[in-house]
A and B are shown apart, each in its own frame.
Chain A
């Protein structure tokens, strides 16, 4: 079993930092036995969460995005947090093709949900949003169920 570990990062909500965030988290996640395809899924999920913060959270001010990732009991937990405008209707936001910005696909939460094992969203208008995602390597899940 891998040692428990964690990392934190914070950066201004700028589009140029979306790549930095997903590469850093993916590199951290590779301490677990994720496949190349699973690492790519984590990259997409982080990219979507941070992109949401960049596009939606701070419309009138420049704010920060905070990421905390931890490895615990063979799982990775990723928390992406902003202190922006919040999501008015979380259920609507999670639906495919729902978007408040023209020209966007409304697939952010759909990808987060389909690529991660768990997704929870907490949001308070004008206070911010916390997205929490958890993923376990598929190989580990198979070993786990065999041992039971």
Chain B
């Protein structure tokens, strides 16, 4: 049941992937429907919150404060979680985290684990590592189960299977659960999942999870969810292993006040999600008696080191930016080539990849700012996107086309003589391309024919502009020309 995970190191560029996915009408319809529904619910519940902007500002400050003092809070969390009977492990990268988890599972001697939906374990491709070690991981979140059984990939942080509709889900369940008579009502499908998983919850003795928040002062862990599969995994097994990004810590219990109010409203458009679980290490007689937390770096400290990019780590993974993004809403999540899709993925993934991969992602945006507006912790995603575009160009060296073009433009703008010469040259060069009544030429693609005085086609790299819109021809007389003539009269 192994599947090829989304891996930014091998994924095609966003533009290539998007082109293919845009042709999938069913996918686009499913994505549009899901994001519309969540956005409508979210908007209503955010509007009823009179103090929403105060909550956002508080959330931002808490998350930014954590990042500024991350070493202090990680050490405090480690101290308190250890005191409460848990064991902390540290992992520099995905391979080290995989090794730790596989090692722990092998030590227990089990060949099965149950899992709560966790983007962090997707990020480190844990299921494949477990599989390779002869351990089967059962995903227990309904969406993750759909994806696992369908050998598919997650396309959204919160609702990973939103790209599948009920008929598609029914086909997957019919085939993999051997239920030829299964109906396609969502309730039937959820019921099938309940029956399929119940036996696993009662039998499997080891669970793997991520976490939404770690609380430094108590050594506490907080996981929010809807279905109760999370509670099953956190409560029934003997051992719980949680893989958590180092940035997920918050200082105190009281810091959950704004975060727990904003997360469900932003993520699923609910006042509160059905279940929040909080616990501090091992509690005698209640829940797993062996607890491990793997604190994962995997590129996060490098993001922390970038002053402009650092705010990316404030993210609480609500997915509101994905639902609001006009680009994501067209392409869906898979085009991003990473488990983190949408605007947050467009800034997080390239940074986690040290900008060696996913260089196209900072360009997967129109910079409209909708993501910033809905972000509960006020991550200025457009600002980081522009910052990363700059870094991509710098990293690719002075001979990259974009870098060369910008250098040329800088030279032209620096001197009046060169600027005027460029304008004259431009007017001359564009002549054959400007549409006039006398001349008309075929237009490539679906675009309508350009009107008079407009350019409908440009060669080479410049064609990127005219492939979807026209360019107005330069005026015969510039403002400077007109002004100078006027002075002489």
Are A and B associated in one complex? no
> Footprint of B on A, CB under 8 Å?
none
